Amino acid sequence: MGEYITKYIPLHKLPIKLLALFMAFVTTVWGANWTLAQWGIVGIGFGLTAPAGVFFAGLAFTLRDFLHELGNKRWVIGAILLGAGLSFLLEDAQKFAIASGIAFLASEFADLLIYTPLRKRGWLKAVAASNVVGFTADSVLFLWLAFGSLAFLQGQLVGKGYMTIGAVALLWLVRRRL
């Protein structure tokens, strides 16, 4: 873990996989805020509703763990700050950008407490457990900061759960083939 942690590597010498993961994670943070600003609250099934960004946000937690694997927490924190910063530039998304930036950062620290020690027991266990802890912490904090309410909590958790299960299953299959 943290293979590329030296401080002064020129951008053109960074591995493409690390840069791609970084940009994918930034995109999920930005995408969560953009979709919420565009579509507001959406149905996610089972009669539940959630902010539209729930699907991007759900994917972000698995990407974050991969970014930890290849980079380190500085890369993750940088991606969160860049994604939230870009989101702040969106029309009608400033409140969401601030709330998501704070929530992603807080859930990052919760994720670190779970992912890092569990990683020694296996990647799949670490990703699954840290994602559940991370997306729960993120959901509670984001909803409270963005809406002053936890009214959409159940929908948030189910929506992020969909994405986590799908992402982990897909990545597990890919890892088995490599």
Q: Is residue 122 part of a domain?
A: yes
CB atoms within 10 A of CB 89: 10
Domain span at residue 46 reads 14-177
Quote the pTM value. 0.85
pLDDT band for 5, please (50, 70, 90 cuts). very low
Q: Is the pLDDT of residue 101 over 50?
A: yes
Distance CA 27, CA 31 (A): 6
Hey, what are 166's tokens? 């799908």
Q: Is residue 7 part of a domain?
A: no
Q: What is the pLDDT of residue 80?
A: 96
Q: Is the pLDDT of residue 105 over 90?
A: yes
pLDDT band for 143, please (50, 70, 90 cuts). very high
Distance CA 143, CA 69 (A): 29
Average pLDDT, the chain: 88
Q: Is residue 19 part of a domain?
A: yes
Query: What are the tens digits of pLDDT across the range 23-37?
Result: 999 999 999 999 999
In the chain, how many domains are there? 1
Q: Which of 167, 21, 40 is nearest to 95 (CA)?
A: 40
Instruction: Give the mean model confidence (pLDDT) for residues 6-29.
Output: 78
